[in-house]
């Protein structure tokens, strides 16, 4: 009987805590994303931002393509609002997981885990 009570209490606790965990990922969409100073990004990310500021040329064919925001971690915008750029990953044979995503209003986001999370870049 005690075991059944304890398991029910645990289930209730999980039911209460689980939405909190989910809402924190939802809070990441929009202004709730973590922030990072541009100066704190890896050198390769800072180089990518400098190339974006200059308008290129970009080393990867997919640099500048529309970022679809399918993960819904960035603020929802119309298609074409966001564009993505590869951040070189030393030792990687392909494009790696690091990206800079820019918005039309000048916002910059950084991901080092292939869109699983984003940080807003502060200049």
Active site residues: 84, 114
Q: What's the half-sphere exposure (Cβ side, CA atoms, 13 Å) at 95?
A: 17
**How many angstroms separate the CA atoms of 111 and 114, rounded?**
6
Angle at 120 (CA atoms; ends 66, 57), nearest 5 degrees = 45
Contact between residue 112 and residue 92 where contact means Cβ atoms under 8 Å apart? no
Tokens of residue 36, six digits: 């990072």
């Amino acid at each position: 009987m005690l075991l059944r009570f304890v398991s029910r209490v645990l289930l209730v606790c999980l039911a209460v805590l689980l939405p909190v965990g989910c809402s924190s990922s939802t809070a990441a969409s929009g202004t709730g994303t973590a922030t990072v100073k541009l100066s704190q990004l890896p050198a390769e990310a800072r180089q990518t931002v400098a190339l974006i500021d200059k308008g290129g040329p970009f080393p990867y064919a997919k640099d500048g393509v529309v970022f679809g925001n399918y993960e819904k971690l960035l603020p929802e915008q119309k298609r074409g609002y966001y564009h993505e750029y590869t951040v070189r990953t030393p030792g990687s044979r392909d494009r790696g997981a690091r990206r800079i995503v820019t918005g039309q209003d000048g916002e910059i986001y950084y991901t080092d885990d292939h869109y699983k999370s984003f940080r807003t870049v502060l200049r």
